[in-house]
Structure 1
Amino acid sequence: MDYKIELIPLAVQDVDRSVEFYGNGLGWSVDHDRTVTPELRFVQVTPPGSACSICFGLGLEMMPQGSSQYIQVVVADADAALAELRDRGIDCQGVDDQPWGRFVYFEDPDGNRWALQQLVIPG
């Protein structure tokens, strides 16, 4: 049986700010942004090339208020990822070289942390 992760929830304080950060800041696809009622809004965003999306909104009750996630994704080139983030004005650290991968880290406005990992094949 295959298990495919399709959706990871994030807790955010300001939905519009998060749509701006992920959609315009990072340039990720905003797949859905639906306000069902004033108390219920669902936003789904997908990174380029990913089969898994993230979601946030109002009234979803998927994550405790004030909580944060740590999400790690794989990229082909950590240096290129760092350059793209910096070109988009995203605050991020330089490349962190480790024996098990090369990493670039950043946070969204609500403290959800992201690690972009370039896999390293031992030589």
Structure 2
Amino acid sequence: MSTQQTEQDGAQDAVKEPTVDMKIEVHIIPVVDVDRALRFYQSLGWRLDADYEAGPEFRIVQLTPPGSECSIHFGRGIISAAPGSAKGYLVVFDLDQARADLASRGVEVSKIFHNVYDTGAEVRVDGRDPDGRSYASYASFSDPDGNGWVLQEVKERQPGR
């Protein structure tokens, strides 16, 4: 294992290469109505992996988007965050196709946009990234509770991904 030394404010911090793979498995989203959220995500074509209820105070639902190794959880008694406060990214190869698919399922999805950084602030601009770069063109939608999802077009992965 190699170690890279960096200096910050006179102190040295060791930055070590990872030795163990760590993968994000689940993203928890807060919802008001579990059954409504379940119908919404299933209408997107997401696979139902689990729906477990242990009384009136606890229920957990797990769904996985097509092609994803990461799932979502929602339910009762599993998260104290306010419904609508979650934000997530969904990587897609073809943004136009993803938008069309969502629209065909009755989802209101934004126009394609990209970001420009003007004097340090991020500004959303209509249209694709003018240079056609991966990771730089987006569209967005929300679930019935207001949890936001950003579709990010990635045609070519960064090295090591």
Name the stretch that deviates more: 31-40 or 64-73.
64-73
TM-score by length of 1: 0.89
Structure with more helix by fraction: 1
Q: Write the distance in 2 (CA, Å) between the matches of 1:40 and 1:55.
A: 12
% identical equivalent positions = 43
How much does 1:120 deviate?
Answer: 5.8
Higher RCO (Cα < 8 Å, 6 or more apart): 1
**Which of 8, 17, 20 lines up with 2:36 in the alignment?**
17
Q: Write the distance in 1 (CA, Å) between the matches of 2:41 and 2:111.
A: 20
The answer to whether structure 1 residue 55 and structure 2 residue 90 are counterparts is no
**Which of 105, 108, 119 lines up with 2:143 in the alignment?**
108
How much does 1:67 deviate?
Answer: 5.4
TM-score by length of 2: 0.69
Q: Which sections of structure 1, spanning at least 5 residues, go unmatched?
A: none
Q: How many residues align?
A: 119
Question: What SS is found at the alignment partner of 2:107?
Answer: coil
**CA root-mean-square deviation:** 1.5
- Paired residue type of 2:24: I
In structure 1, what is the equivalent of residue 27 of structure 2?
A: 8
- Paired residue type of 2:55: T
Question: What SS is found at the alignment partner of 1:101?
Answer: coil
Do the aligned partners of 1:12 and 1:110 also contact (CA within 8 Å) in 2?
Answer: yes
Segments ≥4 residues shifted beyond 6 Å? none
Alignment CA distance shift 1:65-1:88 (3 Å): same
Structure ID, larger Rg:
2
Do the aligned partners of 2:94 and 2:155 also contact (CA within 8 Å) in 1?
Answer: no
Following superposition of structure 1 onto structure 2, how do residues 64-79 of structure 1 map, counting pairs within 5 Å?
64-66=81-83, 68-79=85-96
**Which of 79, 101, 109 lines up with 1:92 in the alignment?**
109
Q: Write the distance in 2 (CA, Å) between the matches of 1:106 and 1:46.
A: 17
Q: Which sections of structure 2, spanning at least 5 residues, go unmatched?
A: 1-19, 114-127, 157-161
Do the aligned partners of 2:41 and 2:63 also contact (CA within 8 Å) in 1?
Answer: yes
Alignment CA distance shift 1:29-1:65 (3 Å): same
Do the aligned partners of 1:9 and 1:63 also contact (CA within 8 Å) in 2?
Answer: no
